[in-house]
Amino acid sequence: MNDILEYFDIPNSCKVSKKLDKKEFIENFQLNVNDRKVLSKVIERITLEYLLNQDTINISTFSDEEKDYSEIAIIKVKITDKSKLKTINKIIQEIPYPLIVVYQCESEISICISSKRINKSDSSKLVVEEDHFTDWINLEELNDLDIEFLNNLKSSQHSFVDFFSFYESYLKLVIAYNVSKYSGSIKKSDNSKEILSEIHKVELQISELKNKIKKETNFNDKVGLNIKLKKLNDNLKKLKSSL
């Protein structure tokens, strides 16, 4: 498919395709100097592609004291520098809806799902709890896992119980895709998020320890660090096998 959004197969009743002016972000949100620079120099275009609510799709709203999933927006953002993704996402997440964001840099895309809760000091605002990005997917060089993931984006394959369930289903898909890099298959699981988080934590510890070993000149200390490294690698292998 030429357009990544076609994989979502969202009903036309939800289609908006409205360009969001960068000036709106400057005027309505509290952006610091660096945010404004990134908005100006790195973000090429922001488009509200779809807005899903009770008027446009047959899904119920969901709200409680902590969450407000009355509607979901699907946003597409074209950027020029992948290294600025987290800063860019912080800006985009100022939009006061649960968002499914498709970031595109040339032929590569990354999808972001960010869990949000109601701001207790201002109930009209939502606060991001955590962000989940897919790795960058080169649409011109798709492997089998990429294709399976993209085919699973189809909206009809996700829960229509309510908007929170619908959104959580996409979140689980993103996590399952990230996990597939270790497990070799895309399979949704309730504990995948925690295991994946632990894997990333151990991988970071391994990277830091390897750098420390390179700089260590004392032989005995170097042996001790290598023993720690072996234990971390064993733990990493165990975590991956549990996926």
pLDDT digits (tens, 9 = 90+) for 41-58: 999 999 999 999 999 999
What pLDDT, on the 0 to 100 scale, is given for residue 110? 97
Domain residue ranges of the chain, discontinuous segments joined by +: 4-183, 192-241
pTM: 0.83
What pLDDT, on the 0 to 100 scale, is given for residue 85? 96
What pLDDT, on the 0 to 100 scale, is given for residue 123? 66
Summarize pLDDT for 122-135 with one digit per residue, the tens: 766 788 888 999 99
Which residues of the chain are under the pLDDT cut of 50? none
What pLDDT, on the 0 to 100 scale, is given for residue 192? 78
C-alpha 156 chain-centroid distance: 20
